[in-house]
Amino acid sequence: MKLSIIVPAYNEEQTVETVMQKLRELQEPVEIIAVNDCSTDGTGAVLDRLKKVGLVDQVIHHPQNRGKGAALRAGFAAATGEVVVVQDADLEYDPADLPALLVPIKRGVADAVFGSRFQGGPHRVLYFWHSVGNSVLTLLSNMFTNLNLTDMETCYKVIRADLIKKLPLTSDRFGFEVEITARLAQAGARIWELPISYSGRTYAEGKKITWKDGVAAFFHIVRYNMFPPPGEWRT
């Protein structure tokens, strides 16, 4: 089972090569697709170099900054594996956790597996209010989707490629996590959740999510759950 790993990257020159090296160390058949979202540092040049030496299979360059969601849609469209997952280009998520997340899909009991940062895995201790905000957003999302997730905002969502390619995804920026969770629930997907490790960054170290994204997420939860597009993709 080939895993297509989509790596959206915006100004991650300092970490993206290490991330790619870790992905290549996985004992799984993988396809690595990097999407450079019009970085203003050397990220694009680093990715092109990594493609030449075989650490990256495909590099997609956006001529304008379009946001994480738009980058992911480009990556999903290019994916050829049976399963897809998003890998942020920083070092907050450890690729060593990915093989365990694949197991429920390999066993045929899951269509999507969420890697939860709040199920007891090792993690760096950081911002209290970030954890509170994440819990509140997950609770609100669960109220709409009728799921019992512990970490809706997690980056690690391993999903069957045939499923994600038929979902009507439109979010261009950080609303992607809310939208994909809503669409999976609306499609009747079998979702599992497993613990992962997490080494969050400080803002001085390059963290990009702010309180404004958290506020926007509230509106995204209402929008994507209350007003899904029509179509046969829904159950």
Question: What's residue 199's pLDDT?
Answer: 81
Domain positions in the chain are 3-226
Q: What DSSP string describes 5-66?
A: EEEEESS-TTTHHHHHHHHHT-SS-EEEEEEE---SSSHHHHHHHHHHTTS-SEEEE-SS--
CATH for 3-226 is 3.90.550.10
Summarised one tens digit per residue, pLDDT across range 99-136 is 999 999 999 999 999 999 998 766 665 667 677 878 89
Summarised one tens digit per residue, pLDDT across range 147-199 is 999 999 999 999 999 999 999 999 988 799 999 999 999 999 999 999 999 98
pTM: 0.90
Residue pointed to by tokens 């509106």: 219
